[in-house]
Protein backbone atom coordinates (compact mmCIF):
# COMPACT_ATOMS: atom_id res chain seq x y z
CA UNK A 1 0.00 0.00 0.00
CA UNK A 2 1.42 3.38 -0.98
CA UNK A 3 2.04 5.92 1.74
CA UNK A 4 2.03 9.66 1.38
CA UNK A 5 5.45 11.24 1.21
CA UNK A 6 6.23 13.89 3.83
CA UNK A 7 6.17 17.48 2.61
CA UNK A 8 9.51 18.82 1.43
CA UNK A 9 9.19 21.92 3.60
CA UNK A 10 7.67 21.12 6.99
CA UNK A 11 7.58 23.44 9.98
CA UNK A 12 10.64 23.55 12.17
CA UNK A 13 10.10 21.40 15.29
CA UNK A 14 9.62 23.25 18.58
CA UNK A 15 12.57 21.35 20.00
CA UNK A 16 14.87 23.29 17.65
CA UNK A 17 13.57 26.55 19.11
CA UNK A 18 14.23 25.20 22.60
CA UNK A 19 17.86 24.97 21.52
CA UNK A 20 17.55 28.54 20.20
CA UNK A 21 16.63 29.65 23.73
CA UNK A 22 19.78 28.06 25.11
CA UNK A 23 21.86 29.65 22.35
CA UNK A 24 20.38 33.04 23.22
CA UNK A 25 21.49 32.77 26.84
CA UNK A 26 24.96 31.53 25.95
CA UNK A 27 25.43 34.19 23.28
CA UNK A 28 24.38 36.91 25.71
CA UNK A 29 26.85 35.91 28.41
CA UNK A 30 29.68 35.61 25.87
CA UNK A 31 29.38 39.12 24.45
CA UNK A 32 27.65 41.17 27.16
CA UNK A 33 30.93 41.71 28.99
CA UNK A 34 31.98 44.01 26.11
CA UNK A 35 29.47 46.58 27.34
CA UNK A 36 30.47 46.19 31.00
CA UNK A 37 34.25 46.47 30.82
CA UNK A 38 34.52 49.95 32.35
CA UNK A 39 32.18 49.09 35.24
CA UNK A 40 33.93 45.81 35.97
CA UNK A 41 37.35 47.47 35.82
CA UNK A 42 36.31 50.25 38.22
CA UNK A 43 34.53 47.94 40.67
CA UNK A 44 37.29 45.31 40.84
CA UNK A 45 40.16 47.84 40.61
CA UNK A 46 41.78 46.47 37.45
CA UNK A 47 42.68 48.08 34.14
CA UNK A 48 40.43 48.07 31.07
CA UNK A 49 42.96 45.79 29.38
CA UNK A 50 42.73 43.31 32.24
CA UNK A 51 38.94 43.43 32.10
CA UNK A 52 39.19 42.77 28.36
CA UNK A 53 40.98 39.50 29.12
CA UNK A 54 37.65 38.24 30.48
CA UNK A 55 36.63 37.99 26.80
CA UNK A 56 39.81 36.18 25.79
CA UNK A 57 39.60 33.84 28.79
CA UNK A 58 36.06 32.88 27.83
CA UNK A 59 37.01 32.23 24.20
CA UNK A 60 39.99 30.08 25.14
CA UNK A 61 37.82 28.20 27.65
CA UNK A 62 35.43 27.35 24.83
CA UNK A 63 38.28 26.22 22.61
CA UNK A 64 39.77 23.90 25.24
CA UNK A 65 36.56 22.80 26.94
CA UNK A 66 34.50 21.93 23.87
CA UNK A 67 36.37 18.77 22.80
CA UNK A 68 37.10 17.65 26.37
CA UNK A 69 33.51 17.86 27.59
CA UNK A 70 32.13 16.39 24.38
CA UNK A 71 34.46 13.40 24.66
CA UNK A 72 33.64 12.99 28.35
CA UNK A 73 29.89 12.92 27.67
CA UNK A 74 30.10 10.87 24.47
CA UNK A 75 28.09 7.92 25.80
CA UNK A 76 25.40 9.90 27.60
CA UNK A 77 21.95 10.69 26.12
CA UNK A 78 22.08 13.98 24.24
CA UNK A 79 19.12 15.53 26.04
CA UNK A 80 20.74 14.83 29.42
CA UNK A 81 23.98 16.38 28.15
CA UNK A 82 22.19 19.54 26.98
CA UNK A 83 20.35 19.95 30.29
CA UNK A 84 23.54 19.40 32.29
CA UNK A 85 25.35 21.99 30.18
CA UNK A 86 22.63 24.57 30.79
CA UNK A 87 22.90 23.88 34.53
CA UNK A 88 26.67 24.52 34.32
CA UNK A 89 25.95 27.68 32.33
CA UNK A 90 23.47 28.92 34.96
CA UNK A 91 25.79 28.16 37.89
CA UNK A 92 28.66 29.87 36.07
CA UNK A 93 26.66 33.08 35.67
CA UNK A 94 25.58 32.97 39.31
CA UNK A 95 29.26 32.67 40.22
CA UNK A 96 30.01 35.70 38.02
CA UNK A 97 27.34 37.72 39.80
CA UNK A 98 28.78 36.79 43.21
CA UNK A 99 32.50 36.98 42.37
CA UNK A 100 34.21 39.23 44.98
CA UNK A 101 37.40 39.84 42.99
CA UNK A 102 38.94 39.63 39.53
CA UNK A 103 40.56 36.16 39.76
CA UNK A 104 37.28 34.57 40.87
CA UNK A 105 35.37 36.41 38.15
CA UNK A 106 37.83 35.06 35.57
CA UNK A 107 37.42 31.56 37.00
CA UNK A 108 33.63 31.91 36.84
CA UNK A 109 33.83 33.08 33.23
CA UNK A 110 35.96 30.06 32.30
CA UNK A 111 33.50 27.76 34.12
CA UNK A 112 30.64 29.28 32.13
CA UNK A 113 32.56 28.93 28.87
CA UNK A 114 32.88 25.16 29.32
CA UNK A 115 29.18 24.79 28.49
CA UNK A 116 29.42 26.88 25.34
CA UNK A 117 31.22 24.73 22.79
CA UNK A 118 29.68 21.42 23.78
CA UNK A 119 26.16 22.90 23.86
CA UNK A 120 26.44 24.25 20.33
CA UNK A 121 28.27 21.15 19.13
CA UNK A 122 25.82 18.59 20.55
CA UNK A 123 22.91 20.95 19.90
CA UNK A 124 23.77 21.12 16.19
CA UNK A 125 23.74 17.32 16.01
CA UNK A 126 20.39 17.17 17.82
CA UNK A 127 18.90 19.91 15.62
CA UNK A 128 19.93 18.18 12.38
CA UNK A 129 18.50 14.91 13.69
CA UNK A 130 15.09 16.50 14.18
CA UNK A 131 14.54 17.47 10.52
CA UNK A 132 14.68 16.01 7.03
CA UNK A 133 17.91 15.92 5.02
CA UNK A 134 17.03 19.02 3.00
CA UNK A 135 16.50 21.11 6.15
CA UNK A 136 19.57 20.29 8.20
CA UNK A 137 21.39 23.57 7.52
CA UNK A 138 18.18 25.49 8.25
CA UNK A 139 17.90 23.69 11.59
CA UNK A 140 21.46 24.73 12.47
CA UNK A 141 20.58 28.25 11.32
CA UNK A 142 17.48 28.29 13.55
CA UNK A 143 19.52 27.28 16.58
CA UNK A 144 22.22 29.88 15.86
CA UNK A 145 19.52 32.53 15.50
CA UNK A 146 19.60 32.60 19.30
CA UNK A 147 23.19 33.80 19.08
CA UNK A 148 22.21 36.50 16.60
CA UNK A 149 19.28 37.66 18.75
CA UNK A 150 21.61 37.77 21.73
CA UNK A 151 23.81 40.23 19.85
CA UNK A 152 20.80 42.26 18.70
CA UNK A 153 18.81 42.37 21.95
CA UNK A 154 20.49 40.48 24.78
CA UNK A 155 23.80 42.33 24.79
CA UNK A 156 22.31 45.88 24.60
CA UNK A 157 19.75 44.95 27.27
CA UNK A 158 22.50 43.56 29.48
CA UNK A 159 24.60 46.68 29.01
CA UNK A 160 21.59 48.88 29.88
CA UNK A 161 20.86 46.80 32.96
CA UNK A 162 24.48 47.01 34.05
CA UNK A 163 24.48 50.78 33.59
CA UNK A 164 21.43 51.28 35.81
CA UNK A 165 21.72 48.48 38.37
CA UNK A 166 25.39 47.52 38.24
CA UNK A 167 27.25 44.88 36.25
CA UNK A 168 26.36 42.10 38.68
CA UNK A 169 22.66 42.58 37.91
CA UNK A 170 23.39 41.64 34.29
CA UNK A 171 24.79 38.26 35.31
CA UNK A 172 21.85 37.63 37.63
CA UNK A 173 19.55 38.27 34.66
CA UNK A 174 21.54 35.96 32.37
CA UNK A 175 21.40 33.24 35.06
CA UNK A 176 17.61 33.61 35.05
CA UNK A 177 17.64 33.17 31.26
CA UNK A 178 19.67 30.00 31.79
CA UNK A 179 17.05 28.62 34.19
CA UNK A 180 14.26 29.27 31.70
CA UNK A 181 16.27 27.72 28.83
CA UNK A 182 16.98 24.63 30.95
CA UNK A 183 13.26 24.17 31.61
CA UNK A 184 12.32 24.68 27.94
CA UNK A 185 14.89 22.13 26.77
CA UNK A 186 13.72 19.63 29.39
CA UNK A 187 10.12 20.03 28.20
CA UNK A 188 10.52 20.21 24.43
CA UNK A 189 13.61 18.27 23.34
CA UNK A 190 12.59 14.62 22.86
CA UNK A 191 14.44 12.00 24.86
CA UNK A 192 14.22 9.30 22.20
CA UNK A 193 16.57 10.76 19.59
CA UNK A 194 19.41 8.47 20.57
CA UNK A 195 22.57 8.89 22.59
CA UNK A 196 25.71 10.58 21.47
CA UNK A 197 28.34 8.53 19.69
CA UNK A 198 28.90 5.05 21.06
CA UNK A 199 32.23 5.14 19.23
CA UNK A 200 35.30 5.08 21.47
CA UNK A 201 37.25 8.25 22.14
CA UNK A 202 40.04 6.93 19.90
CA UNK A 203 37.52 6.36 17.13
CA UNK A 204 36.07 9.85 17.49
CA UNK A 205 39.54 11.37 17.42
CA UNK A 206 40.33 9.43 14.26
CA UNK A 207 37.21 10.94 12.68
CA UNK A 208 38.28 14.42 13.76
CA UNK A 209 41.68 13.87 12.11
CA UNK A 210 40.19 13.28 8.68
CA UNK A 211 41.69 15.77 6.20
CA UNK A 212 38.29 17.19 5.21
CA UNK A 213 37.35 17.75 8.87
CA UNK A 214 40.68 19.43 9.63
CA UNK A 215 40.36 21.66 6.57
CA UNK A 216 36.84 22.57 7.65
CA UNK A 217 38.10 23.54 11.12
CA UNK A 218 40.90 25.65 9.62
CA UNK A 219 38.41 27.37 7.31
CA UNK A 220 36.28 28.26 10.33
CA UNK A 221 39.24 29.67 12.26
CA UNK A 222 40.40 31.90 9.40
CA UNK A 223 36.93 32.94 8.26
CA UNK A 224 35.87 34.13 11.71
CA UNK A 225 39.25 35.57 12.56
CA UNK A 226 38.50 38.05 9.78
CA UNK A 227 35.17 38.96 11.36
CA UNK A 228 36.58 39.60 14.83
CA UNK A 229 39.63 41.44 13.58
CA UNK A 230 37.12 44.20 12.85
CA UNK A 231 34.24 43.59 15.26
CA UNK A 232 36.41 43.55 18.40
CA UNK A 233 37.41 47.14 17.69
CA UNK A 234 34.18 48.34 16.10
CA UNK A 235 33.55 51.00 18.78
CA UNK A 236 36.86 52.89 18.35
CA UNK A 237 36.65 52.40 14.58
CA UNK A 238 33.21 54.02 14.41
CA UNK A 239 34.17 56.89 16.69
CA UNK A 240 37.75 57.63 15.61
CA UNK A 241 37.71 56.67 11.93
CA UNK A 242 34.10 57.31 10.91
CA UNK A 243 33.49 60.16 13.34
CA UNK A 244 30.36 58.97 15.13
CA UNK A 245 29.60 60.21 18.62
CA UNK A 246 29.78 57.61 21.38
CA UNK A 247 26.01 57.60 21.78
CA UNK A 248 25.57 56.60 18.12
CA UNK A 249 27.56 53.37 18.43
CA UNK A 250 24.75 51.32 19.98
CA UNK A 251 22.23 52.09 17.21
CA UNK A 252 24.86 51.21 14.59
CA UNK A 253 25.51 47.90 16.36
CA UNK A 254 21.78 47.18 16.20
CA UNK A 255 22.16 47.30 12.42
CA UNK A 256 24.93 44.70 12.77
CA UNK A 257 22.55 42.48 14.78
CA UNK A 258 19.80 42.77 12.17
CA UNK A 259 22.32 41.81 9.51
CA UNK A 260 23.34 38.76 11.56
CA UNK A 261 19.77 37.47 11.67
CA UNK A 262 19.23 37.99 7.94
CA UNK A 263 22.56 36.40 7.03
CA UNK A 264 21.99 33.47 9.39
CA UNK A 265 18.69 32.56 7.73
CA UNK A 266 20.05 33.11 4.22
CA UNK A 267 23.15 31.00 4.86
CA UNK A 268 21.05 28.10 6.15
CA UNK A 269 18.79 28.10 3.12
CA UNK A 270 21.69 28.31 0.67
CA UNK A 271 23.54 25.46 2.40
CA UNK A 272 20.43 23.26 2.25
CA UNK A 273 20.49 23.59 -1.54
CA UNK A 274 24.20 23.40 -2.42
CA UNK A 275 26.51 23.12 0.56
CA UNK A 276 29.96 23.66 -0.98
CA UNK A 277 28.76 26.41 -3.29
CA UNK A 278 27.14 28.15 -0.31
CA UNK A 279 30.34 27.85 1.71
CA UNK A 280 32.50 29.36 -1.03
CA UNK A 281 29.99 32.08 -1.89
CA UNK A 282 29.49 33.24 1.70
CA UNK A 283 33.24 33.34 2.41
CA UNK A 284 33.82 35.29 -0.81
CA UNK A 285 31.03 37.70 0.13
CA UNK A 286 32.53 38.17 3.60
CA UNK A 287 35.96 38.96 2.13
CA UNK A 288 34.38 41.41 -0.34
CA UNK A 289 32.46 43.19 2.42
CA UNK A 290 35.59 43.48 4.58
CA UNK A 291 37.63 44.86 1.69
CA UNK A 292 35.02 47.44 0.76
CA UNK A 293 34.51 48.31 4.42
CA UNK A 294 38.03 49.72 4.55
CA UNK A 295 36.81 52.49 2.22
CA UNK A 296 33.24 52.74 3.53
CA UNK A 297 34.25 53.47 7.12
CA UNK A 298 35.29 56.99 6.15
CA UNK A 299 31.68 57.93 5.29
CA UNK A 300 28.92 57.69 7.92
CA UNK A 301 26.01 56.36 5.78
CA UNK A 302 28.31 53.84 4.09
CA UNK A 303 29.74 52.78 7.45
CA UNK A 304 26.26 52.02 8.78
CA UNK A 305 25.39 50.06 5.64
CA UNK A 306 28.58 48.01 5.70
CA UNK A 307 28.27 47.32 9.43
CA UNK A 308 24.96 45.64 8.63
CA UNK A 309 26.47 43.84 5.64
CA UNK A 310 29.30 42.61 7.85
CA UNK A 311 26.78 41.05 10.24
CA UNK A 312 24.93 39.44 7.35
CA UNK A 313 28.03 38.12 5.59
CA UNK A 314 29.60 36.86 8.83
CA UNK A 315 26.61 34.81 9.95
CA UNK A 316 25.79 33.58 6.45
CA UNK A 317 28.95 31.48 6.77
CA UNK A 318 27.99 29.81 10.07
CA UNK A 319 25.56 27.13 8.87
CA UNK A 320 27.66 26.13 5.83
CA UNK A 321 30.79 25.86 7.97
CA UNK A 322 29.05 23.80 10.66
CA UNK A 323 27.24 21.49 8.24
CA UNK A 324 30.39 20.93 6.17
CA UNK A 325 32.23 19.60 9.23
CA UNK A 326 29.23 17.52 10.33
CA UNK A 327 28.92 15.81 6.95
CA UNK A 328 32.62 14.99 6.83
CA UNK A 329 32.66 13.56 10.37
CA UNK A 330 30.36 10.55 10.05
CA UNK A 331 30.62 8.50 13.24
CA UNK A 332 32.02 11.33 15.35
CA UNK A 333 29.63 14.18 14.62
CA UNK A 334 29.30 15.55 18.16
CA UNK A 335 33.04 15.82 18.78
CA UNK A 336 33.72 17.32 15.34
CA UNK A 337 30.82 19.74 15.75
CA UNK A 338 32.12 20.86 19.15
CA UNK A 339 35.61 21.24 17.74
CA UNK A 340 34.18 23.53 15.09
CA UNK A 341 32.55 25.69 17.77
CA UNK A 342 35.96 25.84 19.41
CA UNK A 343 37.39 26.84 16.02
CA UNK A 344 34.93 29.76 15.85
CA UNK A 345 36.17 30.96 19.24
CA UNK A 346 39.81 30.43 18.35
CA UNK A 347 39.11 32.61 15.33
CA UNK A 348 37.60 35.22 17.65
CA UNK A 349 40.72 35.26 19.82
CA UNK A 350 43.05 35.28 16.80
CA UNK A 351 41.12 38.11 15.17
CA UNK A 352 41.19 40.23 18.34
CA UNK A 353 44.96 39.71 18.57
CA UNK A 354 45.55 40.51 14.89
CA UNK A 355 43.44 43.65 15.06
CA UNK A 356 45.46 44.83 18.04
CA UNK A 357 48.72 44.21 16.17
CA UNK A 358 47.48 46.23 13.19
CA UNK A 359 46.40 49.07 15.48
CA UNK A 360 49.50 49.21 17.67
CA UNK A 361 52.29 48.12 15.31
CA UNK A 362 50.77 48.56 11.86
CA UNK A 363 48.88 51.14 9.82
CA UNK A 364 46.27 51.71 12.55
CA UNK A 365 42.50 51.52 12.93
CA UNK A 366 41.78 52.53 9.35
CA UNK A 367 43.52 49.43 7.97
CA UNK A 368 41.95 46.83 10.27
CA UNK A 369 39.24 45.90 7.75
CA UNK A 370 41.83 45.23 5.02
CA UNK A 371 43.86 42.98 7.32
CA UNK A 372 40.61 41.17 8.13
CA UNK A 373 39.91 40.68 4.42
CA UNK A 374 43.27 38.98 3.91
CA UNK A 375 42.60 36.53 6.74
CA UNK A 376 39.16 35.64 5.38
CA UNK A 377 40.65 35.16 1.90
CA UNK A 378 42.95 32.64 3.56
CA UNK A 379 39.86 30.80 4.78
CA UNK A 380 38.40 30.89 1.28
CA UNK A 381 41.64 29.44 -0.08
CA UNK A 382 41.46 26.55 2.41
CA UNK A 383 37.84 25.89 1.40
CA UNK A 384 38.86 25.77 -2.27
CA UNK A 385 41.60 23.32 -1.33
CA UNK A 386 39.04 21.16 0.47
CA UNK A 387 36.80 21.18 -2.60
CA UNK A 388 39.71 20.15 -4.84
CA UNK A 389 40.56 17.24 -2.53
CA UNK A 390 36.92 16.20 -2.39
CA UNK A 391 36.65 16.17 -6.19
CA UNK A 392 39.85 14.14 -6.44
CA UNK A 393 38.52 11.60 -3.95
CA UNK A 394 35.19 11.43 -5.79
CA UNK A 395 36.97 10.85 -9.10
CA UNK A 396 39.08 8.08 -7.57
CA UNK A 397 35.96 6.42 -6.18
CA UNK A 398 34.27 6.60 -9.57
CA UNK A 399 37.37 5.29 -11.33
CA UNK A 400 37.61 2.26 -9.02
CA UNK A 401 34.68 -0.04 -9.80
CA UNK A 402 32.95 -1.74 -6.91
CA UNK A 403 32.80 -5.57 -6.75
CA UNK A 404 29.15 -5.45 -7.81
CA UNK A 405 30.02 -3.30 -10.82
CA UNK A 406 32.92 -5.63 -11.74
CA UNK A 407 30.65 -8.71 -11.65
CA UNK A 408 28.02 -6.93 -13.72
CA UNK A 409 30.59 -5.97 -16.35
CA UNK A 410 31.93 -9.51 -16.46
CA UNK A 411 28.47 -10.93 -17.00
CA UNK A 412 27.83 -8.39 -19.75
CA UNK A 413 31.04 -9.45 -21.49
CA UNK A 414 30.08 -13.14 -21.20
CA UNK A 415 26.64 -12.43 -22.65
CA UNK A 416 28.18 -10.49 -25.53
CA UNK A 417 30.56 -13.35 -26.22
Question: Among residues 196, 230, 254, which one ends one of the domains?
Answer: 196
More confident residue, 97 or 54: 97
Last residue of a domain, one of 137, 169, 196: 196
Q: What is the CATH number of the domain that holds 334?
A: 1.20.1250.20
**Is residue 205 a part of any domain in this protein?**
yes
Q: How many CA atoms lie within 13 A of 329 on its CB side?
A: 31
Q: What is the mean pLDDT of residues 73-81?
A: 83
Q: Are residues 357 and 295 in the same domain?
A: yes
- Predicted local confidence at residue 148, as pLDDT: 80
pLDDT at 392: 82
Mean predicted confidence (pLDDT) in 69-80: 81
User: Tens of pLDDT along 99-115?
Assistant: 999 999 999 998 888 88
Q: How far apart are the first and last CA of the chain?
A: 42
> Does pLDDT of 389 surpass 80?
yes
Q: Is the pLDDT of residue 198 over 70?
A: no
Higher pLDDT, 288 or 129: 288
Same domain, 189 and 204: no
Residue 47 CB: number of other CB atoms within 10 A? 10
In whole angstroms, what is the distance from residue 337 CA to residue 331 CA? 12
- Would residue 347 count as lying in a domain? yes
Q: Nearest 10 degrees: CA dihedral of 405, 407, 408, 414?
A: 150
Burial of 79 (0-12, 13-18, 19+ CB in 10 A): buried
89/55 same-domain check:
yes
Together in a domain, 161 and 242: no
Average pLDDT score over residue span 179-204: 72
**What pLDDT does residue 208 have?**
74
Asked, for residue 3, whether it belongs to a domain, the answer is no
Asked if residue 1 has pLDDT above 50, the reply is: no
State yes or no: pLDDT of 406 exceeds 70.
no
- Measured CA to CA, the distance from residue 400 to residue 387 in angstroms comes to 20
Q: List the domain range (segments joined by +) for residue 243.
A: 198-417
Looking at residue 338, what is its pLDDT?
78
Q: What is the mean pLDDT of residues 165-171?
A: 90
179 within domain boundaries: yes
**Whether residues 285 and 412 fall in one domain:** yes
Measured distance CA(367)–CA(379) in Å, rounded: 19
Same domain, 333 and 385: yes
Statement: residue 355 has pLDDT above 90: no
The pLDDT score that the predictor gives to residue 304 is 94
Residue 370 falls inside a structural domain: yes
Are residues 146 and 58 part of one domain? yes
pLDDT at 308 over 50: yes
> Per the domain annotation, does 239 fall within a domain?
yes
Give the residue with greater pLDDT, 232 vs 98: 98
Looking at the domain assignment, is residue 5 inside a domain?
A: no
Is the pLDDT at 314 greater than 80, yes or no? yes
Band of pLDDT at residue 228, cut at 50, 70 and 90: confident
DSSP assignments along 234-297, one per residue:
HHHIIIIII---GGGHHHHHHHHHHHHHHHHHHHHHHHHH-HHHHHHHHHHHHHHHHHHHHHHT
* Position 216 pLDDT exceeds 70: yes
Distances (CA, A) of 160 to 32, 266, 327: 10, 30, 41
Please tell me the distance from the alpha carbon of residue 338 to that of residue 323, in angstroms, as a whole number: 12
> Does 1 fall in a domain?
no
pLDDT tens across 22-53, in order? 889 888 888 788 777 778 888 888 876 677 77
Domain stops at, among 168, 196, 224: 196
Query: Is residue 298 domain-shared with residue 153, that is, in the same domain?
Result: no
The answer to whether residue 382 scores a pLDDT higher than 50 is: yes
Listed range (4-8, 46-50, 111-115, 403-407) with the worst mean pLDDT: 4-8
Judgement on whether residues 138 and 79 belong to the same structural domain of the protein: yes
Mean pLDDT computed over every residue of the chain: 82
> Is the domain of 202 the same as that of 120?
no
- Specify whether the CB–CB gap between 46 and 54 falls below 8 A: no
Residues 249 and 324 in one domain: yes
Mean pLDDT of 191-200: 54
Number of domains in the chain: 2
Residue 101 DSSP SS3? coil
Question: In percent, how much of the chain has pLDDT > 90?
Answer: 27
Same domain, 382 and 236: yes
* Residue 291: per-residue pLDDT: 95
pTM: 0.75
**What pLDDT is attached to residue 218?**
93
Amino acid sequence: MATAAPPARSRMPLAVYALTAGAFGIGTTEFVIMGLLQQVAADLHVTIAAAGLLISGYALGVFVGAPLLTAATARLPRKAVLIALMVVFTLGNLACALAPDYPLLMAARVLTSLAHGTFFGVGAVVATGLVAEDRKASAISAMFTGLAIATLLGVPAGAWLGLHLGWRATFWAVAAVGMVATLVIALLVPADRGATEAMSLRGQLSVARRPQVLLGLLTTVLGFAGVFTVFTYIEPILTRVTGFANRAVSPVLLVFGVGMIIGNVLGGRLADRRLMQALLATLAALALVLGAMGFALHFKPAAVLFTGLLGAAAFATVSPLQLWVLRRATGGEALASSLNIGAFNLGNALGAWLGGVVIVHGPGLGAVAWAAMLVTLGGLGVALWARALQRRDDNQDNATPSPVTTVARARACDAAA
